[in-house]
Structure 1
Amino acid sequence: MDFQTYYDLHRLFADYAIAVDSGNWDLWPDFFTDDCSYRLQPRENHERGFPLATLSFESKGMLRDRVYGIKETLFHDPYYQRHVISAPVVRKEEGQRIHCEANYAVFRTKLSQESTVFNVGRYIDVVERTAEGMKFASKLVVYDSEMIPNSIIYPI
């Protein structure tokens, strides 16, 4: 992999974190291809090969529906989140697709409360080179803890 490709991949992860931490949820689906997959799954299920996921979306349209839900229909205590994402590790390249992984930690701050560790784990991603730049074709978010506080509203 050449430097520019790795830089573009690294920038995709950095821009993703900035977007989902900004609270501008309309930005989130644009990081994905039209026929993408986004799944949030506990580590135990992933390691055992169980398909059950906490969240599972199978297209950019489904991501947009989630954004609508976040903004218009889901009732929840608002909070801020902050992602810290490691540099992506490339596992394999296949044509226009890059298979990679990165560790992440998400901190959550509710209004008038301390910041806490909200969710940690790893991303197992397939990134596709497109005419618009790099996009996630598949993002599997494998979180380490079996317990999640309340519910997960915002993208991880």
Structure 2
Amino acid sequence: MSRLRIDFQDYAELLQLYADYASALDSGQWDAWPGFFTDPCVYKLQPRENHERGFPLATLAFDSQGMLKDRIYGIQETLFHDPYYQRHVVGAPVVRRVDADGRLHAEANYAVFRTRLSKESTVFNVGRTIDEVVRTPEGLKFASRLVIYDSEMIPNSLIYPI
């Protein structure tokens, strides 16, 4: 059985989860990123066309905190790229469903801006997230985060998580 109502406290915690997630990524706190997820978890970055057609191909796909930690290791130790800053602008999440066990099904629009050192800021990636959020002893966490980006083309320098 599912319901659409969510109480104010739960919604405030959900807003805080989204804000903390964006803040950690924007400030380069890469080691914090896996901690926003349960283990196991799902994190996929997928073009809108593939998602809407039910095609499984994703640009990035991880299914555990260990895989998220491997990505962070790659960012910090092995990937060579021009450094840049990113800034997330995230809309208020819309709760689509609340399961009997308290699992929240939510969506939010996002835009990510990228600023390369000594260059102007540009729109880097735009889309929406489709999330499943669960309560854990440490608070709300993402059990699943599908990042569905609108453009079929993305820069070949997708290094940092969205």
For the pair 1:119 / 2:112, whether they are aligned, the reply is no
Instruction: State the identity as a percent.
Output: 74
1:37-89 Cα offsets, whole Å, 9 max, x none, are: 00000001001110000000000110000000000001111100000000000
How many residue pairs were aligned?
A: 156
Distance 2:129 2:90 in 1: 9
Q: Which runs of 5+ in 1 are unaligned?
A: none
Match of 1:20 among 22, 25, 28: 25
TM-score (structure 1 length as normaliser): 0.99
Distance 1:136 1:24 in 2: 17
Counterpart of 1:16 in 2: which secondary structure?
helix
For the pair 1:86 / 2:91, whether they are aligned, the reply is yes
**Matched residue, 1:154:** 160
**Matched residue, 1:96:** 102
Match of 1:110 among 107, 116, 120: 116
Distance 2:71 2:103 in 1: 26
**Matched residue, 1:36:** 41
Counterpart of 2:72 in 1: which secondary structure?
helix
**Matched residue, 2:62:** 57
Q: After the TM superposition, which segments of 4 or more aligned residues of structure 1 sit over 3 Å from their partners?
A: none
TM-score (structure 2 length as normaliser): 0.95
Q: Which runs of 5+ in 2 are unaligned?
A: 1-5
Counterpart of 2:55 in 1: which secondary structure?
coil
Distance 1:146 1:78 in 2: 24
Q: CA RMSD in A?
A: 0.6
Match of 2:148 among 139, 142, 146: 142
1:70 partner amino acid: I
Measured after TM superposition, the shift of residue 93 of structure 1 is 0.6
1:90-110 Cα offsets, whole Å, 9 max, x none, are: 000111310000000000000
Contact 2:81 2:157 in 1 (8 A): no
**Matched residue, 2:9:** 4
Distance 2:103 2:66 in 1: 21
